[in-house]
Structure 1
Amino acid sequence: MSTLLVYLFNILLLAGFVWWLFRQKWAQALRPYLYPALGVKLLMALGFAALRYSYYQTGDTHVFHNAGLTLLEYARHNPEGYLRLLLFNQFGSEGLENSLPFTEHAYFSNSFFFIKVVSLLNLATGGAYYLNNLYLSLFSFWGSAYLAAKLGEVLPKHRLAAVIAFLFFPSVLFWSSGVMKDPVMYGSMCWLTGAALALAHGQKPGLGQVLLLPLQLYLFIRIKVFYAALLLPLLLAYVLVQRLKAHVHVLRSLKAQLLLLLALAGGAVLLLVLQKETFNPDFILWNIENSYSSLFRRSPDRPHIDLGVLRPTMPSMAANYPEAALSAVYRPFLGESWEPLYVLSSLENLLLLVLSGVALAAVLRRGAGGKVRLLHVIMLVFVLLMAGVTGLSTPNFGTLSRYRIVFLPFLVHLLLQNAYAQRLLQRLRPRRTRF
């Protein structure tokens, strides 16, 4: 009976959140796609739980779930100790510390931070995996829907492209679900990007947005600090240029905006060079190479990226960047493996290859590629950076398919904005719509 009450209580909470979400002003611009998008998202969330949790008996999602249950029991028996652990990473006993994973560097570990997030959810759900899955999946849906709406306001002709890229693209939907770090990363990243677009184009933030900003920023940085280090400066630069454009006439041209962007990038690089005591590029390169080597050793019998001898030096990274970036986007190819998940990934990559070919043809044909804006440049730079970094550090295609959700929807959004893709998308629009 208690389990039934827990499920009933949480389903009412989830329904209330959906009701609130759909009443937001920005959400009205996504109709009639918001309900189908939510339905597909929930199906993907349940599919993730059934496949990755119920079918496979081991994996990261099991580790996070079981550790969250351990902290739930600790909270029930020692609430004060649980609060100290939650706020200050103070373990009440050596036995508790040894019973939890990722405690060796608890202050810096994003995995241990996520376990604490799961433990907080457990206080409401009683440790029910499927309910936690729904909460985290809805969080990622919230962020991605908000970004799709804001992109539609900035680029109204390409609103449907944003909807498809962020709300319907299969692997993005799947890997932004489940009791994993990825839904938190994806939801906070998308929300912050949407908030940056709103600020850049003169929209005054409401009280709710002001209050949410520190939380979303904290979640994004704590879950994926390296992703934040790449994306947040780009967003800040975009906001700065767009706000200056309203007062400086010369910045209304794309060339002037790009020159200012280059100047800002040069200033950032110079600042990092001057602060080399706190910023150590060798440590970053070592981490990329170490991640590649450790995952490579664990992937001898599965399709993977083989870069040969990768060294933690800038020349070695630069030489291997093209293969790494292209592999991160387009591999595994169809036929590299016939395991079901790899086949599905290969089919999606084939679609990406086709879309890339169509976009390239549009660029080569004068006028068919569409007008280039600063936002396109910002998104392309982010895609190129992240594709290279993920390809260099993650040779295993199974893991890579998860990690690339950070840049994949931005890439799909760009690929769907040419004249040829737009003609196809016109056929997908309902007759009665404001799109």
Structure 2
Amino acid sequence: MKIVVAVGLNIVMVVALAYWLRRQARASALRRVMLPALGLRLLAGVAACLALTSDADYFQFWGKLLNAQLWDNPGAWLHTLLGEEFHGYGEKLIFHGFSNTFFIIKLLSVLNLGSLGNPFVNGAYLSLFSFVGSWQLVRAVEKYLPQVPLAAAAIAWLAWPSVVYWSAGITKESLLIGSGAWLTALVVGWLYGGQPVRLAGMVGALLLAWLHFKMRFFFAGLLLGGLSSLIIVHLVQQFFGRARHWQVQLAVIVVVLVGGMRVAAEIFPVLRVNKFTNQLSNNYYQLLRASQTRPHIEYTDLKPTLESMLSYAPKAIISTITRPWLGEDKQLLYIVASLENLALLLLIGVTLVALARRRPGYLPFALVVVLVLYCLALAALLGLSTPNLGTLNRYRAVLLPYLVFLLLQNEYVARWLPRFRAE
């Protein structure tokens, strides 16, 4: 019975994927790079599954047990799905409060219906989701922001090395990058493409926001806050013509973000300043103790106060974007990451020149502000809480496509990018 269900589910998925790929190939100027990009993402997933991380192995072990419970006692599985504990087969798993680890285990218990617990197949499912979500945003840029170089979006979400690697296989980043890109694509279509806000789109947006939220609470808060401020700017512009001025747009975005943080802090106590800074500090010192023999970031006398966190935020942002440096470690991961960071520094330099010469590109001003603030805030958050550079390199893959997209779309870099035109 299990094999019949798995074969049936995979046939349905393959047919649906083939239909979707055919439609996308017909509609996009990127038809020639779509299949290679998908193959690259799936290949990266295979590479990740050949040497499962301890986290992925942990997810797999418990996902199989929950899947066994699903087959043996669906009622008990549903209780586990809605709760925070698992008991069965001589094992128990207990989480208190929000846990993205337990969430991905529950998700794998469902995916195992099709994969039969095979890590390569599970990795392919998650890699495929991250690719589809990323593709949706690339297509949104192609359709609704036609003046922006399409190659900038394609490179950022489909080809940038660490983004491809960390968004493939059994990782939380696969779900984060896929859901965040897809949600952003929907908002871009609504605001800049004049797409009608239909019920199906709203339900899809809510599901994607929920998935993003479940995977990493703070990451989702930053992205959802930024997208919400974009929507508010758009609504204000419908009633007040002067709201199109860049200063008014900037003021609206700041007011929405600050007000949103105040409201969120009242709803979620964990976001209150003292608890938030304490959590950052605890995460930092816990990882720092475990990272003494590896390249890491150190802050002299970091305190769990807002003033201390803000004073180290610039160093955290710079470290997140530029480290590891070339020669900081001889492991392949660090060497590749350091070369990638050199490319980022070069692009940042060109972008600063483009800004100085008033050649910033063609992205809407409000969208640029939101993406810049998102990248800076997330870089600060990651740099302050994650001193281990190996872990930081994986976590920052969520912000990298947005940063790379911003750096590639200015007029100077765009001259060197390939041109994609519909035939």
Relative to the length of structure 1, the TM-score reads: 0.89
- String of CA shifts for 1:120-143, please: whole Å, max 9, x gaps: 111221111111101111111111
* 2:7 maps to 1:15: no
Matches of 2:89 and 2:273, distance apart in 1? 35
User: Which amino acid counterpart does residue 143 of structure 1 have in structure 2?
Assistant: G
| Match of residue 152 from structure 1 | 142
1:48 to 1:9, Cα distance in 2 relative to 1, 3 A: farther
Moved more, 32-41 or 16-25: 16-25
Matches of 1:274 and 1:43, distance apart in 2? 44
- String of CA shifts for 1:36-94, please: whole Å, max 9, x gaps: 211211111112112x32xxxx5111111111112222223322211211123454569
Matches of 2:258 and 2:23, distance apart in 1? 40
Moved more, 247-256 or 392-401: 247-256
1:245 to 1:30, Cα distance in 2 relative to 1, 3 A: farther
User: Which amino acid counterpart does residue 391 of structure 1 have in structure 2?
Assistant: G
| Match of residue 65 from structure 2 | 70
Q: Cα RMSD between the aligned structures?
A: 2.6
Note if contact 2:150-2:419 (Cα within 8 Å) is conserved in structure 1: no
The offset of 1:277, in angstroms, is 6.6
Matches of 1:27 and 1:64, distance apart in 2? 38
| Match of residue 287 from structure 2 | 295
User: Which amino acid counterpart does residue 99 of structure 2 have in structure 1?
Assistant: S
Note if contact 1:196-1:236 (Cα within 8 Å) is conserved in structure 2: no
How many residues are paired up?
A: 419
Identity percentage of aligned residues:
36
User: Which amino acid counterpart does residue 419 of structure 2 have in structure 1?
Assistant: R
* 2:80 maps to 1:85: yes
Structure 1 unmatched runs, 5+: none
The offset of 1:368, in angstroms, is 2.7
Note if contact 2:326-2:338 (Cα within 8 Å) is conserved in structure 1: yes
For 2:333, what is the secondary structure of its paired residue?
A: helix
For 1:414, what is the secondary structure of its paired residue?
A: helix
Matches within 5 A, 1:113-262: 113-156=103-146, 157-201=148-192, 202-206=194-198, 208-262=200-254
Matches within 5 A, 1:301-312: 301-312=293-304
Matches of 2:118 and 2:267, distance apart in 1? 47
User: Which amino acid counterpart does residue 259 of structure 1 have in structure 2?
Assistant: A
For 1:246, what is the secondary structure of its paired residue?
A: helix
For 1:306, what is the secondary structure of its paired residue?
A: coil
The offset of 1:26, in angstroms, is 10
Matches of 1:21 and 1:208, distance apart in 2? 18
Note if contact 1:328-1:404 (Cα within 8 Å) is conserved in structure 2: yes
The offset of 1:23, in angstroms, is 4.9
Note if contact 1:81-1:91 (Cα within 8 Å) is conserved in structure 2: no
The offset of 1:301, in angstroms, is 1.2
- String of CA shifts for 1:178-199, please: whole Å, max 9, x gaps: 1122111111111111111122
The offset of 1:95, in angstroms, is 4.4
Matches of 1:204 and 1:239, distance apart in 2? 14
User: Which amino acid counterpart does residue 107 of structure 2 have in structure 1?
Assistant: V
Note if contact 2:225-2:260 (Cα within 8 Å) is conserved in structure 1: no
The offset of 1:265, in angstroms, is 3.4
User: Which amino acid counterpart does residue 204 of structure 2 have in structure 1?
Assistant: L
Matches of 2:128 and 2:309, distance apart in 1? 37
Matches of 2:82 and 2:409, distance apart in 1? 45
User: Which amino acid counterpart does residue 18 of structure 2 have in structure 1?
Assistant: W
Note if contact 1:64-1:180 (Cα within 8 Å) is conserved in structure 2: no
Structure 2 unmatched runs, 5+: none
| Match of residue 112 from structure 1 | 102
Relative to the length of structure 2, the TM-score reads: 0.91
1:199 to 1:392, Cα distance in 2 relative to 1, 3 A: same
Note if contact 1:22-1:28 (Cα within 8 Å) is conserved in structure 2: no
The offset of 1:10, in angstroms, is 5.7
1:312 to 1:330, Cα distance in 2 relative to 1, 3 A: same
The offset of 1:147, in angstroms, is 1.2
User: Which amino acid counterpart does residue 35 of structure 1 have in structure 2?
Assistant: L
Note if contact 2:229-2:252 (Cα within 8 Å) is conserved in structure 1: no
